[in-house]
Amino acid sequence: MAIGDSFTEGMSDADPHRPNTYVGWADRLAAHLARVAREDGHDFGYANLAVRGRLLVDIAGRQVDNALALGPDLVSIVGGGNDILRPRADVDALAARLEDAVARLRAGGADVLMATPTDPRDAPLIRASRGRAATYTAHIWSIALRHDASVIDLWGMGALRDWRLWGPDRIHMTSEGHRRVALNAFTTLGFTAPDAGWAIPLPPAPALSRADAARANAQWAREYLGPWVRRRVRGQSSGDTISAKRPTLTPLED
62-88 pLDDT, tens digit each: 999 999 999 999 999 999 999 999 889
Give me the percent of the chain exceeding a pLDDT of 70: 95
| Statement: the pTM of the whole predicted model exceeds 0.85 | yes
Higher-confidence residue: 205 or 37?
37
Predicted local confidence at residue 111, as pLDDT: 98
Q: What residues form DSSP beta bridges with 115?
A: 152
| CATH classification code of 2-250 | 3.40.50.1110
pLDDT at 230 over 90: no
Cα-trace Rg, the chain: 18
Confidence of residue 228 (pLDDT cuts 50, 70, 90): low
> Once rounded to an integer, what is the mean pLDDT over residues 5-12?
96
Contact 123, 78 (CB under 8 A): no
Count of other CB atoms within 10 angstroms of residue 33: 19
Count of other CB atoms within 10 angstroms of residue 153: 13
DSSP state of 120: -
Predicted local confidence at residue 251, as pLDDT: 94
> Once rounded to an integer, what is the mean pLDDT over residues 181-207?
94
Predicted local confidence at residue 218, as pLDDT: 76
User: Which of 44-58, 109-123, 174-188, 216-230 is predicted with the least confidence, judged by mean pLDDT?
Assistant: 216-230
Predicted local confidence at residue 254, as pLDDT: 55
Predicted local confidence at residue 23, as pLDDT: 97
Contacts of 127 (CB under 8 A, 6+ apart): 120, 121
Predicted local confidence at residue 92, as pLDDT: 98
> Once rounded to an integer, what is the mean pLDDT over residues 124-153?
95
> Once rounded to an integer, what is the mean pLDDT over residues 161-187?
95
> In the predicted model, what is the mean pLDDT of the chain?
92
Predicted local confidence at residue 199, as pLDDT: 96
Q: What are phi and psi of 103, to 5 degrees?
A: -60, -40
